[in-house]
Amino acid sequence: MVIKVTNFARFLRDIERDGSSQITQVVDRVMTEDPESLEDFFDQNPEVCENNDELTSRPHLPLKRDGVLFLTQRRQATSDIRENPSVAILGSAAAMTCHVVILRHTESHVASLGHFDNFSCWQFGEENSAHKEGIRTMIEEIEHLSQGDLDKGHIQVSVFGGYRDPRGDAKQNSMSLLKAFQESDRTLEIVHFCVDRFNTCIDKETGNNTAILIGVAIDLSTQYIFAASFPWNNFEDFSVQLQDKFLRRTGQGSILKDDEYYKTKNSTFKPKALRNPNTYKKLQNSNTPGVEKALPEKMPWGKLKAADNHNAVSKEFREEKRRESTKVPAVNLKEVKKLIKYNQ
């Protein structure tokens, strides 16, 4: 296992902004000891702190749905734009206590994104953590798609989410992720670890801590990782997706365009759930009646109320949408590819 931190990201930012850099020597520091706390990790790696501050200082970029593969809580996907040009961007709502992890290969540009929540990831014990299983899956999928480029580069890690919540759940989530990286047998470079104080501000309405980031995304062509918002990702859209999925599965037609529904049909690795391995195994082997219920032939979609959708999603998701509606001004959306430029 090799976990390292470099100042190469700052060097590239300097070149892009000023045409030159005062950095004359690239730092390539290997982590030899496990940090005892997040503050210990930040103190040892000021380069990561600088990368965190640089990213949160940028405005959120509102994205159109076209070309974006949006992943919800407890979901993961790996994509290679050479294999499937229909997926140009991977993105997710930046979590409150959850964490969004982006892994990318420096040479092949294959990227993987996972949205890890604290419930399935550490509350059943470290040995049953979905962090380890999820990170392992992401790495293996990147390596499979990288093929001939694999040995020409390495995997970079960027983590976002985990504000300073009252119970400290996010901090446990952060440390569990760090441990998962350290226990990997691959070479991993941590570029961002934008959690805790680097993703916390004071909510002007409530006076309580809240997260800075609304969402994050990676452009698979440019490898640009940025703060993002998804104006179309709302409760109405959530309901439409559920209706469309049900209609397709029961042969009753569809609502969404086929291009949207089959966006990942050319991808080797489809979006999938991030499960706690031990808990999921017990669920599969369960003989408890009602664990898997058959879908009814028809669903009363017309009778659904907004409150039904509102209660169907997590409290964290509702909080994110409230923050998003107050922090993001109305904008005229433009094509993503015209706005994004290269940034390591």
Give the DSSP letter of residue 170.
H
Q: What is the mean pLDDT of residues 265-272?
A: 90
Q: What is the mean pLDDT of residues 13-27?
A: 86
d(CA 191, CA 177): 14
Cβ proximity of 177 and 41 under 8 Å: no
How confident is residue 218, by pLDDT bands cut at 50, 70 and 90?
A: very high
How confident is residue 246, by pLDDT bands cut at 50, 70 and 90?
A: confident
Please give the distance of CA 137 from its chain centroid, rounded to a whole number.
14
As given in the structure block, the two tokens for residue 137 are 């899956």
As given in the structure block, the two tokens for residue 220 are 């698979």
Q: In what order do the strands lie in the sheet with 68-71?
A: 61-62, 225-229, 215-219, 89-93, 68-71
Q: Which residues contact 213 (CB under 8 A, 6 or more apart)?
A: 56, 60, 94, 160, 161, 194, 199, 227
pLDDT of 316 strictly over 60: no
pLDDT of 314 strictly over 60: no
pTM of the model: 0.78
Q: Identify the residue whose tokens are 């919540």.
A: 165
Please write the tens of the pLDDT for every residue from 102-155.
Answer: 999 999 999 999 999 876 555 555 555 678 889 999 999 999 999 999 999 999
Please write the tens of the pLDDT for every residue from 65-82.
Answer: 889 999 988 899 999 999
For residue 78, the cross-strand partners are 112
Amino acid (one-letter) located at 179: K
Total residues belonging to the chain:
344
Strand segments, DSSP code E, in 198-305 are 200-202, 209-211, 215-219, 225-229, 272-273
- Residue 209: how many CB atoms within 10 A of its CB? 16
Burial 142-161 (b: 16+ CB within 10 A, else e): bbebbeeebeebebbbbbbb
As given in the structure block, the two tokens for residue 332 are 């005229």
> How much of the chain is in helix, strand and coil states, percent to nearest 5?
40, 20, 40
Domains in the chain and their CATH numbers?
2-233+272-285+314-339 (3.30.1330.200)
SS3 157: strand
**Range among 63-72, 250-259, 284-293 rated most confident:** 63-72
Q: What is the mean pLDDT of the chain?
A: 80
